[in-house]
Chain A
Amino acid sequence: MRLIVHNMLTCNIKGVINKFPLRIEAEKVIKKEVDFNPDFLRHMLAKIEWKALVDGARSMGYTELPVHAPALESDEPFLRKFHHALLELNLEEGSLVCQESGRKFPVEKGVPNMLLHEDEV
């Protein structure tokens, strides 16, 4: 699971209000190189919830992201860091934790399992 997906994931347990973002408990992180595409990154900047990305990257061991996204989006050094955090960090094993309920969604072999139990629906 990469942070581009994590930035979208919510806990849908009935009654939970604070469903996003999920806290990452990382057990195994691997880095996989991805082609740098500035246009795509700029497109993503509008969608990304920045604090969730920064916190998520930190949980995966990457602390280079600025606390705020800079106003000048075309700044390449920034885009490189954004690229690395968004697309090159892979959570292979770990959990995504709902901040309100504490429920842990497992991530195994890079795949999150977000299915709810019957009593959570």
Chain B
Amino acid sequence: MRDVKVKANSKSTEEEENEMSSSLSVKSTPEIEKKYVHRVYDAIAPHFSSTRFAKWPKVAAFLESLPSGSVVLDAGCGNGKYLGLNPSCFFIGCDISNPLIKICSDKGQEVLVADAVNLPYREEFGDAAISIAVLHHLSTENRRKSAIEELVRVVKPGGFVLITVWAAEQEDKSLLTKWTPLSPKYVEEWVGPGSPMNSPRVRNNPFFGLESIPETDVSAKDQKAGLESIPETEESTREPKATQDSLGEQKDKSSVEVLLEALKMNQQEYFVPWHLPYHRAEVSGASASALASGLAKKDDRKGTVVYNRYYHVFSEGELERLASGVGNAIIVDRFYDKSNWCIVLQKEALNQD
């Protein structure tokens, strides 16, 4: 029998630790979410809540269609806009932001502070569940999938789940010019097994000459659309066709570089600004430390403290693909509405013999 040479582990301790931390539970909150989701919402909660009052007709319709007496679980309920929307149902909301939950409880709503990726609920208690504009704040595919699995787990067999997320395909394209695409510095913070850098869509993109299985969902048309939507930044002024170099030249670049280019072409990671007026910032008190630490900056012209919120916007079909990976639920509706991709799942009913 031929001797099999075992390659010595040449990784540094730091690399090993990074690998271990990235293989740590999917339920652990990555740094990028702590800084650019949790802290931001905590700081902006009352102002954010004051802007979130319009009830989205599609969500209202879903809730109104539920049988009277349904227990509805809202994971990531924010300021509780939808809690109690159907007065015949019993709503229980949770959010990771204490200040937002306080706004709900001040309204007399039944709420708790909890993590949508790890719901502290026993299975099948709910009749229905909703996740409205939440999953796009989760920074890895595994966490996004986990959150969907949680929603399905906590509803009864036959129960419905409505999920909405921001679309990469925004109706108002000018909005994208106000967003900051994630730069490599932030990418490196959270590159891990579940990151978009390692997602099949990026890795298998034939456009970049990577070793790949033929990908059916990335059409040339999609690529062009991706290019058009990239805001003017230093990176995007580079000639796009430089990336169409021969395979030989591609292979000379490190895989990280190639993936970073892929990221730009399929830009789905953004910082979306939130302008907190000065008088609001002073009241919250959180802004002083945010400014000091560089988490937020001042816009004197607008008189606001500007925070960035992390978003992974979803491309067409992505939410469906993610949801179809959840074993015990089927997709019963899917639609695009007001720049959001939306999906309704139904949990498998028990076999009735």
Interface residues of A (CB under 8 A from B): 1-2, 4-5, 7-12, 14, 19-20, 37, 39-40, 43-44, 47, 49, 109-116, 118, 121
**Hey, which chain A residues are within 8 Å of B121, CB to CB?**
8-10
Contact of A115 among B69, B90, B96, B110 (CB under 8 A): B96
Is the pair A121, B25 in contact by a Cβ cutoff of 8 Å?
yes
**Hey, which chain A residues are within 8 Å of B102, CB to CB?**
109, 111
A116 to B69, CA, bound (A): 31
**Hey, which chain A residues are within 8 Å of B120, CB to CB?**
9-12, 114
Is the pair A8, B125 in contact by a Cβ cutoff of 8 Å?
yes
Contact of B113 among A4, A111, A121 (CB under 8 A): A111
Is the pair A113, B113 in contact by a Cβ cutoff of 8 Å?
yes
Contact of A118 among B28, B68, B110, B114 (CB under 8 A): B28
**Hey, which chain A residues are within 8 Å of B119, CB to CB?**
12
Is the pair A116, B122 in contact by a Cβ cutoff of 8 Å?
no
Is the pair A12, B118 in contact by a Cβ cutoff of 8 Å?
yes
Indicate whether B92 reaches chain A with its CB closer than 8 angstroms.
yes
Is the pair A113, B112 in contact by a Cβ cutoff of 8 Å?
yes
Is the pair A111, B111 in contact by a Cβ cutoff of 8 Å?
yes
A120 to B112, CA, bound (A): 19
Closest to A41 in B: B69
Indicate whether B101 reaches chain A with its CB closer than 8 angstroms.
yes
Supply 8 A–B pairs (Cβ within 8 Å), ascending by A: A8-B125, A10-B121, A10-B122, A40-B69, A112-B112, A113-B113, A114-B113, A115-B115
Is the pair A47, B71 in contact by a Cβ cutoff of 8 Å?
yes
For the complex with contacts A114-B115, A121-B24, 15 further pairs of A-B residues with Cβ separation under 8 Å are A4-B92, A4-B110, A5-B92, A8-B92, A10-B121, A12-B118, A109-B102, A111-B102, A111-B105, A112-B113, A114-B94, A114-B113, A115-B114, A121-B27, A121-B28
| Closest-CB distance, B25 to chain A (whole angstroms) | 5
Which of B68, B120, B121 lies at the interface centre, i.e. has the most chain A CB atoms within 10 A of its CB? Answer: B120
Is the pair A8, B122 in contact by a Cβ cutoff of 8 Å?
yes
Closest to B26 in A: A121
**Hey, which chain A residues are within 8 Å of B101, CB to CB?**
111
Q: A47-B125, A114-B120 are in contact. Are A1 and B112 (CB under 8 A)?
A: yes
Indicate whether B195 reaches chain A with its CB closer than 8 angstroms.
no
Indicate whether B22 reaches chain A with its CB closer than 8 angstroms.
no
A19 to B25, CA, bound (A): 18
Closest to B112 in A: A112
Chain B's interface: helix, strand, loop or mixed, by majority? loop
Q: A39-B69, A111-B101 are in contact. Are A116 and B118 (CB under 8 A)?
A: yes
Indicate whether B229 reaches chain A with its CB closer than 8 angstroms.
no
A8 to B352, CA, bound (A): 25
Binary flags per residue of B87-125, CB closer than 8 Å to A gives 1, else 0: 000101010101001100100001111110011111001
| Closest-CB distance, B102 to chain A (whole angstroms) | 7
| Closest-CB distance, B233 to chain A (whole angstroms) | 34
Is the pair A5, B69 in contact by a Cβ cutoff of 8 Å?
no
Contact of B112 among A5, A7, A40 (CB under 8 A): A5
**Hey, which chain A residues are within 8 Å of B69, CB to CB?**
37, 39-40, 43
Closest to B121 in A: A8
Contact of B114 among A14, A20, A44, A114 (CB under 8 A): A114
Which of B24, B102, B121 lies at the interface centre, i.e. has the most chain A CB atoms within 10 A of its CB? Answer: B121
**Hey, which chain A residues are within 8 Å of B94, CB to CB?**
114
Is the pair B27, A114 in contact by a Cβ cutoff of 8 Å?
no
Closest to B70 in A: A43
Binary flags per residue of B151-176, CB closer than 8 Å to A gives 1, else 0: 00000000000000000000000000
Is the pair A14, B112 in contact by a Cβ cutoff of 8 Å?
no
**Hey, which chain B residues are within 8 Å of A14, CB to CB?**
25
A7 to B90, CA, bound (A): 14
| Closest-CB distance, B70 to chain A (whole angstroms) | 8
| Closest-CB distance, A92 to chain B (whole angstroms) | 10
Binary flags per residue of B20-33, CB closer than 8 Å to A gives 1, else 0: 00001101110000
Is the pair B125, A114 in contact by a Cβ cutoff of 8 Å?
no
